[in-house]
Amino acid sequence: MKKPLEKPVRYLKGIGPKRARLFNSLGIESIEDLLYYFPYRYEDRTNFLLIKDLSEGSLSTLKAKVFSVRERVSLRRRNFKIIEAVVGDNSGKILCVWFNQPYLKNYFKPGEEVILYGKAQHYAGKMQINSPEFELIDSRDSDSLNIGRIVPVYSLPKGMTQRVFRSTVREALDGSLPKLKDFLPFDIRSRSAQINLAKALANIHFPDTLEGQKQAYERLSFDEFFIFQLPLALRKANKSGKPGIAHKTDGKLTDGFICSLPFEFTASQKRVIAEIKTDMSRPVPMQRLLQGDVGSGKTVVATLAAMIAAQGGYQTAFMVPTEILANQHYEKISSQLTAYSSKVKQVRIGLLTSSLSKEEKDKIYQEIESGKTDLIIGTHALLEGKIQFKNLGLVVIDEQHKFGVGQRALLPRKGFNPDVLIMTATPIPRTLAITLYGDLDISVINELPPGRKPVKTICFDTENVGEAYGLAKEQLGLGYQAYIIYPVIEESYALDIAGAKKRYEELKKYEFKDFRVGLIHGRLKQSGQDDLMRKFRDKELDILVATTILEVGIDIPNATCMIIEHAERFGLAGLHQLRGRVGRGSADSFCLLLADAETEEARRRLKAMERFSDGFRIAEEDLKIRGPGEFFGRRQHGLTELKIGNPLSQMQLLKRAREEALRMVESDPGLRQEGNLPLREKLLQRFPEYERLMVVG
């Protein structure tokens, strides 16, 4: 029998199949999902601001009556419709404007009351509010959930109203909280001065006071941090007593590889190599996170670690998230090894991806099992159960945030406690990384190779697209190549953004008719993607139109210009990753952002891209603007649970949660004491793969 919180949300009053699908689109399947779908802001509806008291540039909430509504077409953009509504209260009237949302013409009706939330600005001598959030008031809104209190506001899909969502949350709270058992042990709550869980959930949705909301926010943030830190503490406890491989870190193979490289390591790379050598020489498994910005030279450091393993007769598994990246690493590392393989032991390298035929895969499986392959580069295909290593000594996982924690844990189990090197091009401020990756030692490459120049980033309004295209044509005229990036493959009318396919046809027919243009996206077969990348690399194409498939792992030094259209639709980390695809050579490079930045958040992201080129500074800004979920990636273990906690602004709370997690694992590593059983159940409910870690003690 399902527990109360596990019941599907469709069993709540008023939730039929159609409405259930709307809830499901938000990731809400169960009542627990609903209770943990938090408001993104609150409105104090005990007192609304009068129109006459609005101050320019400040976000305000007002209650007003609709006087008139009209639709007009933009004079500057064809088929771009603008909705204007005049609203007023006893103190005056104000114009509200919405862009390219024509359906609103039939949404507002003169005489109706509406609650508006937005920022007033002066335009042509008059005050108006652009794109305010709104909520219509009807006769049922006289109840205590929507008027005369602090009201929660949720991010909802079209077709779902705030009023319906609030009443559904209220019903779920009333039915669930009396039966709710708090999983956080009382002694931890007491030491950390946290309120109980039922009170926290009630106050996060419907706080009576701002102080009550603050207490709820802290308790629920603490829960997220604590549940995130527990597996780290368990992993740390499990690793501490395991035997590992004591590699010989110097020898002909590593010396020959270093001497054959056509460049010198940077000071950062040398420091990181020394840290890795120290780890690999010890008879305990290395567990190291290597952070480095795009293009900082992480891959060659990982290759050197593979050489250390190979000269002792051990194999290396190098796992990456995409086939494009796997192919690129294979080609690049193969060429580096070829440069000196005739002088020293031949290092045999293989490539394993899902698109290979069964015969090709079987051949590679045999070579891995027999030990003929020293270094195997691959995608998730490396996790297949058929793969047996003869002597796995090193696991390298690139772009680790693209893999779930269960996937990352599988590969090392194919050897006897191999060393593990995890790499990421999404830098995290060091003090935060130490707390978030408490079971890993951390290395940082914080400088680019000599000769690399920062990419010049320029933002354009979409109506100035011709200027951006002109800059791209200048680069193409000099013999360089360019990328043009779109957020979707097909055109999206809902988001009003051009798809890569449609724009590709238009670009090669009009704006770039004198150039060779190609299109690449994730729906193409792997062979098609590979062929396009080969053509672009070999300069058979001048322009590559692409989706975000290019975010990871494309290295074309001759590409000096990137145009990102609808840049406001991308997260800051994604924009920075995409920008890293240019500036790979010594020539001046450009990243041109085309955007209609209508929100403050979008404007902050674009401004950060113009101001900062350092990945660590970008990461800090991203955490501030977007919050941890978007920054770390939705599949990142633990951090997927950070729906409310923010590591950057709540560092002290995160540290306190870490201390409590370490204390608990030390006193009860199996979480089997009676008071800890609800916590054990909660942890295994979210992360069942950690049951194996709780057999100790």
- End-to-end, the C-alpha distance of the chain in Å comes to 31
pLDDT tens for each residue of 551-586: 555 678 899 999 999 898 888 878 888 898 898 888
CA distances to 118, 132, 463 from 121, rounded to whole Å, are 10, 12, 22
With the C-alpha atoms ordered 687, 693, 694, 695, is the resulting torsion angle positive or negative?
Answer: positive
* Two tokens, residue 149: 């209190």
> What is the pLDDT at residue 640?
46
Instruction: Provide mean pLDDT across the span 658-680.
Output: 90
For residue 591, count CB atoms less than 10 angstroms from its CB and return exposed for 0-12, middle for 13-18, buried for 19 or more: buried
- Is the pLDDT assigned to residue 597 strictly greater than 60? yes
Q: What angle do CA 502, 505, 510 make, to 5 degrees?
A: 120
Q: Do residues 137 and 115 make contact, with C-beta atoms less than 8 angstroms apart?
A: yes
Tell which wins on pLDDT, 406 or 673: 673
| E strand or H helix at 655 | helix 651-667
Q: What angle do CA 158, 642, 150 make, to 5 degrees?
A: 60
Q: What angle do CA 425, 429, 433 make, to 5 degrees?
A: 85
Instruction: Provide mean pLDDT across the span 306-318.
Output: 94
pLDDT tens for each residue of 117-161: 888 988 888 889 998 888 888 755 555 677 778 889 998 888 888
Three-class DSSP labels, 405-446: HHHHHHHHHHCCCCEEEEEECCCCCHHHHHHHCCCCEEEEEC
Percent of residues, the chain, with pLDDT higher than 70: 89
Helices (H), 518-599: 526-537, 572-579
Q: Which of 339, 375, 345, 348 is nearest to 262 (CA)?
A: 339
CA-derived radius of gyration, the chain: 28
**Buried b / exposed e across 408-439, counting CB within 10 Å, b at 16+?**
bbbbbebbebbbbbbbbbbbbbeebbbbbbbb
- Is the pLDDT assigned to residue 693 strictly greater than 70? no
Cross-strand partners of 376: 317, 350
What one-character-per-residue DSSP string does 342-403 give? TTSPPPPEEEE-TTS-HHHHHHHHHHHHHT--SEEEESGGGG-TT---SSEEEEEESSGGGS
Tell which wins on pLDDT, 643 or 91: 91
Percent of residues, the chain, with pLDDT higher than 90: 41
Q: Do residues 216 and 201 make contact, with C-beta atoms less than 8 angstroms apart?
A: yes
Distance CA 519, CA 504 (A): 7
Q: Do residues 408 and 254 make contact, with C-beta atoms less than 8 angstroms apart?
A: no
Report the DSSP pairing between strands 133-137 and 126-130: unpaired
Q: Do residues 651 and 431 make contact, with C-beta atoms less than 8 angstroms apart?
A: yes
- Is the pLDDT assigned to residue 72 strictly greater than 70? yes
Q: Which of 88, 116, 84 is nearest to 97 (CA)?
A: 84
| E strand or H helix at 481 | strand 481-485
Distance of CA 164 to the CA centre of its chain: 30
> What is the pLDDT at residue 638?
43
Instruction: Provide mean pLDDT across the span 361-388.
Output: 92
pLDDT tens for each residue of 391-429: 999 999 987 656 655 666 778 889 899 999 999 877 777
User: What pTM value is reported for the model?
Assistant: 0.64
Banded model confidence at residue 389, pLDDT cuts 50, 70, 90: very high
Q: How many CB atoms lie within 10 A of CB 285?
A: 20
Distance CA 583, CA 591 (A): 9
Banded model confidence at residue 639, pLDDT cuts 50, 70, 90: very low
Distance CA 401, CA 636 (A): 5
Distance CA 122, CA 128 (A): 6
Share the mean pLDDT of the chain.
Answer: 85
Banded model confidence at residue 60, pLDDT cuts 50, 70, 90: confident
Query: Please, how many CA atoms are within 13 Å of residue 353, restricted to the half-sphere of its CB?
Result: 18
> What is the pLDDT at residue 497?
47
Q: How many CB atoms lie within 10 A of CB 162?
A: 22
**All domains of the chain in start order, with CATH:** 41-153 (2.40.50.140), 252-282+297-424 (3.40.50.300), 456-612 (3.40.50.300)
Q: Do residues 414 and 392 make contact, with C-beta atoms less than 8 angstroms apart?
A: yes
CA distances to 15, 146, 203, 311, 462 from 170, rounded to whole Å, are 13, 12, 11, 64, 43
Q: Which of 646, 630, 653 is nearest to 155 (CA)?
A: 630
